[in-house]
Amino acid sequence: MATTTDVTTEAAEAAIEAISGAANKDAAFSMALSQDQKDIREWVHGFAADVMRPVAHEWDEKESTPWPVIQEAAKIGLYGFEGLAQFFADPTGLTLPIVNEELFWGDAGIAMAIMGTSLAVAAIFGQGSGEQIGEWIPRCFGTPEDIKVASFCSSEPNAGSDVSALRTTAKFDEATNEWVLNGQKAWATNGGISDVHVIIATVDRELGSRGHAAFVVPMSEAKGISEGAKVSKHGLRASHTADVYLDDCRIPVGYVLGGKEKLDERLARAREGKKNKSNASMATFEASRPVVGAQALGIARAAYEYSLEYAKEREQFGKKIIENQAIAFTLARMKLELDASRLLVWRASWMGRNQVPFENAEGSMSKWKAGEVAVWITERAIQILGGNGYTREFPVERWHRDAKIYDIFEGTAEIQQLVISRAISGMHIK
Ligand SMILES: Cc1cc2nc3c(=O)[nH]c(=O)nc-3n(C[C@H](O)[C@H](O)[C@H](O)COP(=O)(O)OP(=O)(O)OC[C@H]3O[C@@H](n4cnc5c(N)ncnc54)[C@H](O)[C@@H]3O)c2cc1C
In a domain, residue 379? The reply is: yes
CATH number reported for the structural domain that contains residue 26 in this entry: 1.10.540.10
What is the residue with the minimal CA distance to atom 30 of ligand 1?
160
Domain span including residue 241: 150-271
Is the same domain home to 265 and 309? no
What pLDDT, on a 0 to 100 scale, did the predictor assign at position 2? 32
Is the same domain home to 56 and 74? yes
Percent of the chain with pLDDT over 90: 87
Is the same domain home to 142 and 161? no
CATH number reported for the structural domain that contains residue 223 in this entry: 2.40.110.10
DSSP string, 355-407: T---TT-HHHHHHHHHHHHHHHHHHHHHHHHTHHHHSTTSTHHHHHHHHHGGG
Is the same domain home to 265 and 288? no
Say yes or no to pLDDT of 43 above 50.
Answer: yes
Instruction: For residue 119, give the ligand 1 atom closest to its CA.
Output: 8
Is the same domain home to 115 and 191? no
Is the same domain home to 402 and 286? yes
What is the residue with the minimal CA distance to atom 17 of ligand 1?
409
410 is catalytic: yes
Annotated catalytic residue, options 72, 337, 362, 410? 410
In a domain, residue 187? The reply is: yes
Is the same domain home to 256 and 331? no
What is the residue with the minimal CA distance to atom 24 of ligand 1?
160
Is the same domain home to 409 and 291? yes
Say yes or no to pLDDT of 4 above 60.
Answer: no
**Residue 278's pLDDT band (cuts 50, 70, 90):** low
What pLDDT, on a 0 to 100 scale, did the predictor assign at position 169? 98
Mean pLDDT of 296-312: 98
Instruction: For residue 190, give the ligand 1 atom closest to its CA.
Output: 8
CATH number reported for the structural domain that contains residue 316 in this entry: 1.20.140.10
3-state secondary structure of 320: strand
* Final residue of a structural domain among 218, 248, 271: 271
Is the same domain home to 41 and 138? yes
Comparing 379 with 279, the larger pLDDT belongs to: 379
Q: Which residues line ligand 1 (CB under 6 A)?
A: 119, 152-155, 160-161, 187-189, 233, 236, 241, 405, 408-410, 412, 414-415, 418
**Residue 355's pLDDT band (cuts 50, 70, 90):** confident
**Residue 288's pLDDT band (cuts 50, 70, 90):** confident
In a domain, residue 430? The reply is: no
Pick from 412, 421, 428 the residue to mutate for probing ligand 1's pocket: most ligand atoms within 8 Å of its CB. 412
- Whether 429 and 421 have beta carbons less than 8 Å apart is answered as yes
* Final residue of a structural domain among 147, 181, 200: 147
Measured in Å, residue 102 CA sits from the centre of ligand 1 at 26
Which residues, at least 6 apart from 83, have a Cβ–Cβ distance to it below 8 Å? 77
CB atoms within 10 A of CB 26: 9
Q: Specify the DSSP class assigned to residue 256.
A: B
Measured in Å, residue 360 CA sits from the centre of ligand 1 at 22
Domain count, the chain: 3
| HSE (side-chain half, CA atoms, 13 Å) at 259 | 8
Is the same domain home to 359 and 386? yes
In a domain, residue 348? The reply is: yes
Is the same domain home to 50 and 11? yes
In a domain, residue 319? The reply is: yes
* Final residue of a structural domain among 271, 299, 332: 271
**Residue 344's pLDDT band (cuts 50, 70, 90):** very high
Is the same domain home to 143 and 226? no
